[in-house]
Amino acid sequence: EEALKRLNQTVEGIHTVRAVQRLAMDRKIHTPINNAVYRVVVEGYPPKDVALELLKRPPQSPFEMI
């Protein structure tokens, strides 16, 4: 939101990250990377903190989450 106010141009992906977040929640799909981007872009969390949280996650096959 802050970037949208400051810049006099399009902020690429902000609408997409919101749409993906909504779809994932509605369909109960696990999307850790989009969740992280959403937290930074929409909720204003510090990027470094969110990235470190992602890196702490144990490795998983994408099929384990289905």
Question: In terms of Cα–Cα distance, which of 6, 1, 28 is closest to 18?
Answer: 1
Residue ranges per domain, the chain? Answer: 2-65
pLDDT at 53: 96
pLDDT top residue among 15 and 10 = 15
pLDDT at 54: 95
pLDDT at 27: 96
Task: Decide if pLDDT at 49 tops 80.
Answer: yes
Name the pLDDT band for 20 (thresholds 50, 70, 90): very high
Task: Decide if pLDDT at 59 tops 80.
Answer: yes
